[in-house]
Structure 1
Amino acid sequence: MPRLRWCIRLLTLGSALLQAAAVQAQPDVVQGAAPACRQLVASGNPQYPPYLWRSTESSERLVGANVEMLTWLSKEVGVPIEARYVGPWARVQEEMRAGRIDLIAGAFFTLARTEYMDYFHPAFRETRSVVLVRSGSNLDYRRWSDLAPLQGGTVIGNSFGEEFDRYAKENLQLTQVSGLAQALQMLQRSRIDYLIYEDSPALAYVARLNMQNVRPLRPAVASESLYLTLSHRSPCNTPELRGRLARAMYALSRQGLMNGWIDSNIQVWKRIGPAP
């Protein structure tokens, strides 16, 4: 009987050693993460130059400053990150809620979104959302209440901060459409009186669509921070990976890397030329 117990112990020890060797042979798996965590899939608003846009009309590949950020992050956390087009901005948020994508590269903070994704601090960019009108508009915009009598527009799923979102829901008439190009065309054709969107992406689209009669108003509706987020349902959402991402975002902010990526991708967007 002692000999049998000794044999069982040897077999158990051998099995443990084999399992340890198998884990060491998989360096792409984050320590402490689920075994399925060999890659992170990221997405975001695909109509968001210079931050993010599709490489071609039919491509699933995203390009832009945020993709450069994800490439840098991939090296920092030791896990490959694929930037993938999954649909318009509203669909991106649905995919994130369901856990079919892991990361969103560029989301404003709202309490509702914290129900299905984690935010990483610090933010990687500060942005301004503005009111855009036709050049001949006589809208004298000074405060939010000046917009109340008019018909406005925005893109489905967009947020402009908790305070403004609440005010808009209760007081403004906003038509929501699936894409920024469609919203700008509605503004140009006088189907809406004004459009609310972030200034840099909106003006990039205005230039690409060669719209001479659209201009932003001041002051800004809101100034908001852009964050990297991780889905609660991601198989890679572990304390270990969250820690790595948090440290990486802190290093990114301290080094000021985002400014250079944005500047270079503004030039890339300009070289693309007018939209078809």
Structure 2
Amino acid sequence: MPALLLCQPATAAAGCTRLLASGNPEYPPYLWVDPNDSKRLVGAAADMMQLLSREVGIPISVNYAGPWARVQKSVRDGRVDLIAGAFYTQSRRQYMSYIQTPLTITRTAIWMRDSKPLNYNHWLDLVGYRGVTVVNNSFGEEFDRFAEHSLNIETVGSVENALRMLSLGRADYLIYEDAPAQAYASRLGLQNLKTANGTITREALYLTLGHQSACFSDALYQRLNKAMKKLVDSKVMEQLIEKNQQRWREENR
């Protein structure tokens, strides 16, 4: 992991009285919009932010800040302090710092229709087919570079739209993390989709601190690092994921 780029004095943390976090709002069991309050996000990552808040002694609100692309822009502009779940890329590293201990490791899968399965074992097997994914999504820098130069992938605004496109035959495959895509496919009642046996990537999902945040400082970064390592080492994230998988199922019966 590249060294932290320090661009504000350590004294900023002392005057930091609250932090605003957000993230991908279509990412169950990690994050989704609270059905009882459209301004909030709930899920395993949101629950982790509350535990983190207690550890660092600063209130953390986890709010809906729009679609995933807008969330990233809000961090670049300093309107959101933290992203509760992002993959590492060099471009994102220019405007936010990654807390060193990841929240979890996720699997990105190839989704396809039962009636038109792909024989997928390697990235090259996708060449010549029509893909779809969500705008501003990253699946690791190596795959992102390969996809840009070798694949035909359309981007849309939401995973629900992407799943519908695949189900209706307007795309041959969908690239998305397995747990969130499965959650939305089940909610939409799309029973003609499945994942390929192979995996696109396994990527660490990180908490990040925006460089334009009014609270950004080396002191806060180190506090977040220490607290996150303690929480992850305690295996609490596994419990939160299981709890929120059940919560999602109950909300979408």
Same fold flag (TM > 0.5): yes
- 1:118·1:231 contact (CA, 8 Å) conserved in 2? yes
**Aligned alpha-carbon RMSD (Å):** 1.3
Matches of 1:57 and 1:152, distance apart in 2: 34
Matches of 2:14 and 2:79, distance apart in 1: 17
Q: How does 1:113-152 map to 2 (within 5 A)?
A: 113-152=92-131
Q: What residue ranges of structure 2 are gaps of 5+ in the alignment? A: 1-9
Residue 237, structure 1, aligned to residue 220, structure 2: no
Quote the offset at 1:35 in angstroms: 6.8
Q: How does 1:158-173 map to 2 (within 5 A)?
A: 158-173=137-152
Matches of 1:57 and 1:166, distance apart in 2: 40
1:91: which partner in 2? Answer: 70
Matches of 2:104 and 2:233, distance apart in 1: 12
1:193: which partner in 2? Answer: 172
Aligned to 2:32, the other structure's residue is in SS state strand
Q: Matched residues, percent identical?
A: 47
Matches of 1:195 and 1:58, distance apart in 2: 30
- 2:56·2:223 contact (CA, 8 Å) conserved in 1? yes
Matches of 2:36 and 2:199, distance apart in 1: 31
2:7: which partner in 1? Answer: none
- 1:36·1:235 contact (CA, 8 Å) conserved in 2? no
Q: What residue ranges of structure 1 are gaps of 5+ in the alignment? A: 1-30
Q: Which has the higher contact order (CA 8 A, sep 6+)?
A: 2
Quote the offset at 1:203 in angstroms: 0.7
Provide TM-score, normalisation by structure 1: 0.86
Moved more, 220-229 or 55-64: 55-64
Quote the offset at 1:189 in angstroms: 0.7
Quote the offset at 1:273 in angstroms: 1.9
- 1:122·1:250 contact (CA, 8 Å) conserved in 2? yes
Quote the offset at 1:56 in angstroms: 2.3
Aligned to 1:61, the other structure's residue is in SS state strand
2:4: which partner in 1? Answer: none
Quote the offset at 1:34 in angstroms: 5.6
1:24: which partner in 2? Answer: none
- 2:13·2:220 contact (CA, 8 Å) conserved in 1? no
Quote the offset at 1:36 in angstroms: 5.4
Amino acid at match of 1:261: L
2:23: which partner in 1? Answer: 44
- With over 3 angstroms needed to count, the CA separation of the structure-2 counterparts of 1:51 and 1:96, relative to structure 1, is same
After TM superposition, where is structure 1 displaced by more than 6 Å over at least 4 residues in a row?
A: none
Provide TM-score, normalisation by structure 2: 0.94
2:247: which partner in 1? Answer: 268
1:153: which partner in 2? Answer: 132
Residue 108, structure 1, aligned to residue 87, structure 2: yes
Aligned to 2:64, the other structure's residue is in SS state coil
Residue correspondences, number: 244
The counterpart of 1:78, out of the listed 53, 57, 62, is: 57
Return the index of the structure with the highest Cα Rg.
1
Matches of 1:73 and 1:61, distance apart in 2: 17
